[in-house]
Chain A
Amino acid sequence: MYAMINGTRTELPDGLDVLGLVRFAALSPDTVVVEVNGCIIERAGYDQTMLKNGDQVEIVSFVGGG
């Protein structure tokens, strides 16, 4: 399946949950926040949130800023 991750169409394995996606992107869960189709996903629920074909996903983290 595919999903829009941070605005980029990305091919993903079927049956992937958010925790899997974060690991897939080589990220550490406690340094990011994930939003799927406009809803912020609680970290505790990462492994229960399945991704579907066409989902809009945003993965954000803190960066330098004033």
Chain B
Amino acid sequence: MHISSHSDSRTNSDALVIGGVSLTSRLFTGTGKYASDAFIPRVLEASGSEVITVALRRVDLTTQTDTVTRHIPEHMRLLPNTSGARTAEEAVRIARLAKAMGCGNWVKIEVIADNTYLLPDGYETIKATEILAADGFVVLPYVNADLMIARSLVKAGAAAVMPLGAPIGSNRGLQTKEMIRILIEEIPLPIIVDAGIGKPSQACEAMEMGAAACLVNTAIATATDPVAMAHAFGEAVRAGRRAFLAGQAPVSAGRASASSPLTGFLFDS
């Protein structure tokens, strides 16, 4: 069964609103690492995702290459990333180039100067966020799950915070779970777990914790059957979100012991 949320016109009371745009799906997907770009539209249909990331690179002038956007349906919200940037300045430049493409003003700030683990530079990310937010971009910064960085991003005008669950491509799940939990509690912006999610159950867990959305690229693109995996991820994100909205069950009734060592003194005659 394919789920096509883009044709769903029912009002959604649990919509995720970012930069004034109302989203039904809380799964963001990527376009990297596919065996073939032809998978992309089928992955989007199977998962229901409405937001997709792309990167910006120099065109190869010596060969005829296909542009990835040819495979992305019109209704999709494009989220260009600033991959390749090692400083705020480079990220700002890439963001502006991406905006000039005319596909919207959303940008995922990705500033990475570490080629071993591909961990983001929080300081440069904050600087880029401030410049681009002031310039009218809808900024979704990719950062380590750090409360201080997130607070600075709020002040800098970010539209969301995207903490990593684990290093890019590692598929190791929510290694930063405790820190993500703190962000969800403390930061008044959507928290979108990006990077490291390897299995649908991990995406489900992130949503159960209260994350606003998950961004999954590697786990879908490199699966044996990307379309089936995309379907699974779509369901997992929806299930996790439903569980979160349903709320926790109360603790079991009944007390284990009849004595009250801590407060008994209040009732002793």
Q: Which residues of A contact B (CB under 8 A)?
A: 5-8, 10, 25-27, 30-33, 35, 40, 42-43, 58-66
The answer to whether B57 and A61 touch across the interface, beta carbons within 8 angstroms, is yes
Residue of A nearest to B97 (CB): A33
- The 9 lowest CB-CB distance pairs between A and B, nearest first, are A65-B55, A66-B217, A66-B30, A64-B31, A62-B54, A6-B58, A66-B32, A33-B100, A31-B67
Inter-chain CA distance A23–B217, complex, in Å, is 33
The verdict on A62 contacting B100 (CB below 8 Å), with A6-B58, A6-B61, A25-B61 known, is no
Contacts of B33 in A (CB 8 A): 64, 66
* Complex contact B96–A65 (CB within 8 A): no
Say yes or no: A62-B69 contact (C-beta < 8 A), given A26-B64, A33-B100: yes
Compute how far the CA of A40 lies from the CA of B215 in the bound complex, rounded to whole angstroms. Answer: 30
Sort chain B's interface into a size bin: 35 or more
Cβ–Cβ contact B58 & A62, under 8 A: no
Interface positions of B (Cβ within 8 A of A): 30-34, 37, 53-59, 61, 64, 67-70, 78, 80-81, 83, 96-98, 100-103, 168, 195, 215, 217-218
Contact of B56 among A30, A62, A66 (CB under 8 A): A62
Chain A residues, Cβ within 8 Å of B30? 64-66
Q: In the complex, which residues of chain A have a beta carbon less than 8 angstroms from the beta carbon of B102?
A: 30, 43
Given A30-B102, A31-B67, A64–B54 Cβ distance below 8 Å? yes
Interface centre among A10, A31, A42, A64 (most CB of B within 10 A): A64
CB atoms of A64 and B55 under 8 A apart: yes
Shortest beta-carbon distance from B120 to chain A in Å = 13
Known contacts A62-B54, A66-B31, A66-B215; 20 additional CB pairs below 8 A are A7-B58, A10-B61, A25-B61, A30-B102, A32-B101, A33-B56, A33-B97, A40-B97, A58-B58, A59-B58, A60-B58, A61-B56, A61-B67, A62-B80, A64-B34, A64-B37, A65-B53, A66-B30, A66-B55, A66-B218
**Of B32, B33, B67, B69, most A-chain CB atoms within 10 Å:** B67
The minimal Cβ–Cβ distance linking B99 to chain A, given in whole angstroms, is 9
| B residues in contact with A43, CB < 8 Å | 100, 102
For B57, list chain A residues within 8 Å (CB). Answer: 60-61, 63
5 A-B contacts (beta carbon < 8 Å): A25-B61, A30-B102, A63-B57, A64-B33, A66-B81
Give the complex CA separation of A27 and B100 in angstroms: 16
Nearest CB in chain A to that of B58: its residue: A6
